[in-house]
Structure 1
């Protein structure tokens, strides 16, 4: 009987050591990427290559950028031992001339729970647009906004919320809004009608998908065929939190106490 207990104890020790030694390790091909000198306009992207050199699967649970101007993308699938994956980092250069150095914090179940990646470079200013003649300015469509700011209040991270605006074409030609620019790459738009005749109005919907926790102020600049230089920027405000459900639970618990 003693031999059986001894055998079981030894087997348990072997199994425990096996589980303890099974660990995933994330090894990056490089930890810093230098874009060098790039022109302003659009998003500069780079894919960091990562390999699991350990002996257990690794799941990257989150990648946090140091600012809203950097947008990471990564696979949520487990990285098996010996397998590779990528983490894509995008830097929005629009309106950001000058040098930059941004960090990405990777959180996973690997032996090293948090690891850092960096992107850097220098953005050169976009060339100035050619001057327009008085006749061109007079004939241009012109955007007029009835309001330009919307405050969402508290918003859960990753939750899509929509703000509605009204714009009017007070110019002399058809107005075409062709897109928008934001530093966070977290706003999309929809407008009806798509072409606004002179004197007519349109409904503009901005959908905001926040990815950074804190009080946020996002500037949204519309791109269109309006060459008059009229106001084309809108402001979205939000207090981005991890979970609204957790905050609601705290409030309910506080309110459930009948006496102080």
Structure 2
């Protein structure tokens, strides 16, 4: 009889312990690091420091960056109470001129916040472009002009398809062709209302964005065209991404595009 009581007591203790919530707590020294201005091609690294101010160990099983341009590494062993760990973010600026704002999501058994988002930002100074185009060729080139270079989706659910429309005009003397659109996150695709935009004509450039990370996301999108004066136009997409499953695609109609200058 005594052995049965002891066994039941032991089992109850195991179940209570296994169901108890871990009381590890991570305290980050800072959430955002500004690299300032970087020369294009620089591999910029920053180490975020974090301390366990709880009473139980904290484990960080995974850290995910919002794009392939950022590589995170982190403390793999359990961070004991009172001890510290690190999350290192390395940003590859090669081929990414212009401003950037990237997020790094830290997953852990932190009792209060199992997902914590860190940010890195800065500006990449473009390398000087060498071109053999003559002044006459530049004067005859197609020219891409855009009414607005930024679009704010507001709140989106993770995985939800959202669309941004930009009005573009050819202010040059030859037909303009949008050749491709690139983004570091590989989460943006495009289509244009005209395959070829004649001088003086206006067309619509539509970007489809599917966010894959939670938190505030800012994606730099590069539009490549046959404009030899400015072959790469940079656009910026912004969204506050929340958890949830979108039931259908949404098209956000923003304010009227700003006039062409």
TM-score, with structure 2 as normaliser: 0.49
Largest Rg, 1 or 2:
1
Per residue, is there more helix in 1 or in 2? 1
Scaled by the length of structure 1, the TM-score of the pair is: 0.49
